[in-house]
A = this chain, B = another copy of it.
């Protein structure tokens, strides 16, 4: 185990004090030119890198940020992570990933440990389902009280005041449904999640508004609410067997593709008999046969925006409370299914 070289080592070797070395490496003009040169050359030669932990202890900044996501095996959150990682690294920050697995408890526990332990400087979080269901946001409020920056993304709550990055879910949904209507679809079904999930409910709102604005009467029977993700496949199949419509939107990629398969099994032609649209940043809809139109949420953009907001907050010393909410605009990707 080769011990790492420290300021002390350099100091001893060059017969100067530790502070001189420290200053010389920072090119402080408090130190003579010759000494600076000498120290820097030596440090370079021995590949000296300051011990981050010591630096952190000194200025109580770790240069780490935490990203909490409910689920990692999910195209959207994956792209978010990619975006966060990119701008974090560009700014010299590292990303600690915590997957809550939709569990309130894990979210709370990890968050508290990260915060009180001084492990990270700030948080980016997308709420777990359980948290949204319980509506218990004390851990987030506690974070804020401690003065740690927090950026909420995608699955947010307005019970907590903080920076936020969201997608224009309602608008995305509205646009998608309008697109279907403009193509002459009359009976448009929606496969969605339960209302407590913020994005799901917003998408439903967009759906309803689009119908209303185009004078199509809302038929609640055309809305399928999945309450148990485990057997969503069966629920969707049953729904499709028992309901007739000429278009359907799923609030994610799996719902859309499962619906398509069920329809195809029924002998329906896509898009002739039924048009399909989903929400997704991933490959599932892109490579389906036929390819399925999608509302793209631009997870990477969200990640980038969130990371940038967080870092800005961290680097600015002002206590300012001008919290911002950035809205990422979705784009409709038209494919064969519509």
A residues in contact (CB < 8 Å) with B: 1-2, 4, 47, 49-54, 56-57, 60, 62, 64, 72-73, 75, 78-79, 81-82, 85-86, 89, 94-99, 110, 112-113, 116-119, 145-147, 253-254, 257-258, 260-261, 264, 282-284, 287-289, 319
Shortest C-beta distance, A61 to chain B (Å), equals 10
User: When the two chains form their complex, are residues A289 and B287 in contact, meaning their CB atoms are under 8 A apart?
Assistant: no
Shortest C-beta distance, A103 to chain B (Å), equals 12
Task: Specify which chain B residues have a CB less than 8 angstroms from the CB of A50 in the assembled complex.
Answer: 117
Task: Specify which chain B residues have a CB less than 8 angstroms from the CB of A62 in the assembled complex.
Answer: 53
Known: A73-B82, A146-B2, A288-B289. A119 touches B94 (CB 8 A): yes
Task: Specify which chain B residues have a CB less than 8 angstroms from the CB of A117 in the assembled complex.
Answer: 49-52
Q: How far is the CA of A117 from the CA of B92 in the complex (A)?
A: 12
Shortest C-beta distance, A68 to chain B (Å), equals 11
Query: Which of B60, B79, B254 makes the CB contact (< 8 A) with A283?
Result: B254
Task: Specify which chain B residues have a CB less than 8 angstroms from the CB of A95 in the assembled complex.
Answer: 96-97
Shortest C-beta distance, A42 to chain B (Å), equals 15
Shortest C-beta distance, A112 to chain B (Å), equals 8
Task: Specify which chain B residues have a CB less than 8 angstroms from the CB of A78 in the assembled complex.
Answer: 72-73, 78
Query: Which of B64, B85, B147, B287 makes the CB contact (< 8 A) with A72?
Result: B85
Query: Which of B64, B72, B75, B260 makes the CB contact (< 8 A) with A81?
Result: B72
